[in-house]
Structure 1
Amino acid sequence: MAPAAMTFASSLSDAQPLSYWLDDPARPAPLPALTGDEHCDLLVVGGGYSGLWTALLAKERDPGWDVVLIEGHEVGWAASGRNGGFCAASLTHGLGNGIARWPGEITRLEELGARNLDAIEETVARYGIDCDFERTGSIDVATEPHQVAELGEMYEGAAGLGFDGLELLDQDAMRAQVDSPVFLGGMWDRRGTAMLHPARLAWGLKQAALGLGVRIYENTRGLDIASSASGAAVRTPYGRVFARRVALGTNVFPSLVKRVRPYTVPVYDYALMTEPLSEEQLSSIGWKGRQGVGDMANQFHYFRLTADHRILWGGYDAIYPYGGRVSAEMDHRPETYLKLARHFFRYFPQLEGVRFSHAWGGAIDTCSRFSAFFGTAHGGKVAYAAGYTGLGVGATRFGGEVMLDLLSGRRTERTELEMVRTKPLPFPPEPVAWAGIGLTKWSLARADANGGRRNAWLRTMDRLGLGFDS
Structure 2
Amino acid sequence: MDPLADAAPEPYWLRQEGAPAAAEPLAAAETADLAVIGAGYSGLWTALLAKERDPGRDVVVVEAGTAGWAASGRNGGFCAASLTHGFDNGLSRFPEEMDTLERLGRRNLDEIEETVRRHGIDCDFSRTGELHVATADWQLRELRAYQEAAGARGADVRLLGRDAVRAELDSPTYLGGVWDRDGCAMVDPARLVWGLRRACLELGVRLYENTRVDRIDVTGGGLRLHTLRGRVDARRVALATGAYGTLLRRLRHYVIPVYDYALMTEPLTGAQLAAIGWAHRQGVGDSGNQFHYYRLSADNRILWGGYDAVYYRGGRITTDHDQREQTFRVLAQHFRDTFPQLEGLRFTHKWGGVIDACSRFSGFFGTAHGGRLAYAAGYTGLGVGATRFGANVMLDLLDGRRTELTSLRLVRSKPVPFPPEPVRTGVIQLTRWSIARADRRDGRRNLWLRTLDRVGLGFDS
Q: Could you state the TM-score of these two structures normalised by the residue count of structure 2?
A: 0.99
The reply on whether 1:178 has 2:169 as its aligned counterpart is yes
Which of residues 90, 103, 120 in structure 2 aligns to 1:111? 103
Equivalents in 1 of 2:330, 2:29: separation in Å? 49
1:55 correspondence with 2:16: no
What SS is found at the alignment partner of 1:28?
A: coil
User: Are 2:271 and 1:280 equivalent residues in the alignment?
Assistant: yes
User: 1:231-266 CA deviation, whole Å, 9 max, x = no partner?
Assistant: 111111111110000000001103311112110001
Equivalent of 2:346, from 355, 358, 361? Answer: 355
Asked if structure 2 preserves the Cα contact closer than 8 Å seen for 1:370 and 1:467, the reply is no
What is the 5 A alignment of 1:449-464? 449-464=440-455
Whether 1:29 and 2:21 are equivalent positions in the alignment is yes
Give the aligned partner of residue 129 of structure 2. Answer: 137
* Residue of 177, 185, 192 corresponding to 1:194: 185
Pairing 1:379–2:370 present:
yes
Equivalent residue number for residue 96 of structure 1: 88
CA distance in 2, matches of 1:373, 1:392: 12
Residues 437 and 468 of structure 1 are in contact (CA less than 8 Å); yes or no, is this contact kept in structure 2? no
Rounded Cα–Cα distance in structure 2 between residues aligned with 1:11 and 1:209: 40
Give the structure 1 partner of residue 300 of structure 2: 309
Cα distance in 2 for partners of 1:255, 1:104 equals: 33
> Is 1:142–1:185's contact at 8 Å kept on the other side of the alignment?
yes
- Residue 151 (structure 2) aligns with: 159
Deviations 1:313-335 (A, max 9, x none): 00001110111111111011111
2:28 partner SS: coil
Matched with 1:368 is 359
Q: Deviations over 1:183-216 (max 9, x none)?
A: 0000000000000100000000000000000000
Distance (Å, rounded) in 2 between the aligned partners of 1:244 and 1:468: 39
Distance in 2 separating the partners of 1:347 and 1:186 = 15
- The residue type equivalent to 1:329 in the other structure is D
| 1:159 alignment partner AA | G
Change (3 A) 1:418 1:21: same
Q: Determine which of 400, 420, 436 is the counterpart of 2:427.
A: 436
> Whole-Å Cα distance in 2 between the matches of residues 418 and 254 of structure 1?
23
Amino acid of the structure 2 residue aligned with 1:38: E
- Partner residue, 1:297: 288
Aligned partners of 1:182 and 1:33: how far apart in 2?
Answer: 50
Detail structure 1 runs of 4+ shifted over 6 Å in the superposition: none
2:386 equivalent to 1:395: yes
Q: Deviations over 1:20-75 (max 9, x none)?
A: 10111111111000001110000000010000000000000000000000000000
Corresponding residue for 1:3? none
SS of residue in 1 equivalent to 2:113: helix
Aligned to 1:318, what secondary structure does the other structure show? strand
Conserved? CA contact 2:453–2:459, under 8 Å: no
Per-residue CA deviation, residues 388-411 of structure 1 (Å, 9 max, x unaligned), is 000000000000000000000011
Which range moved further: 254-263 or 230-239?
A: 254-263
Structure 2 counterparts to residues 36-51 of structure 1, below 5 A: 36-51=28-43
Residue 469 (structure 1) shift: 4.5
Alpha-carbon deviation of 1:468?
Answer: 4.0
Letter of the 2:431 counterpart = T
Unaligned runs of 5+ in 2: none
Q: Distance in 2 between matches of 1:159 and 1:305?
A: 27
Partner residue, 2:333: 342
Question: Match of 1:333, as an amino acid?
Answer: R
Which letter maps to 2:389?
Answer: F
Q: 1:414: Cα distance to partner?
A: 0.1
Where 1:317 maps in the other structure, the secondary structure is: strand
Cα distance, 1:184–1:398 mapped onto 2, change above 3 Å: same
Q: Between Structure 1 and Structure 2, how many residues are aligned? A: 461
1:150 Cα deviation from its structure 2 partner: 1.1
Structure 1 counterpart SS, 2:79: strand
Q: How many Å apart are 1:101 and its aligned residue?
A: 0.4
Matched, 1:235 2:226: yes
SS at structure 2 position matched to 1:120: helix
Q: 1: distance between equivalents of 2:90 and 2:141?
A: 20
SS in 2 for 1:316: strand
Is contact 1:318–1:469 with CA below 8 Å preserved after alignment?
A: no
Moved more, 224-233 or 346-355: 224-233
Match of 2:416, SS state, is: coil
Asked if the contact 1:11–1:356 (Cα under 8 Å) also holds between the matched residues in 2, the reply is yes
The CA distance in 2 between the partners of 1:343 and 1:183, in whole Å, is 13
Deviation (angstroms), 1:159: 2.9
- For the residue of structure 1 that corresponds to 2:243, the secondary structure is coil
SS of the aligned residue for 1:246 comes to strand
Name the CA distance, whole Å, in 1 between partners of 2:460 and 2:395.
29
Q: Which runs of 5+ in 1 are unaligned?
A: 1-6
Which residue in 2 is equivalent to 1:79?
71
CA distance in 2, matches of 1:326, 1:441: 19
Contact 1:88 1:393 in 2 (8 A): yes
Task: Look up the equivalent residue of 2:16 and give its one-letter code.
Answer: D
Alignment pair present for 1:216 and 2:207: yes
| In structure 1, C-alpha distance between the alignment counterparts of 2:151 and 2:195, rounded to whole Å | 37
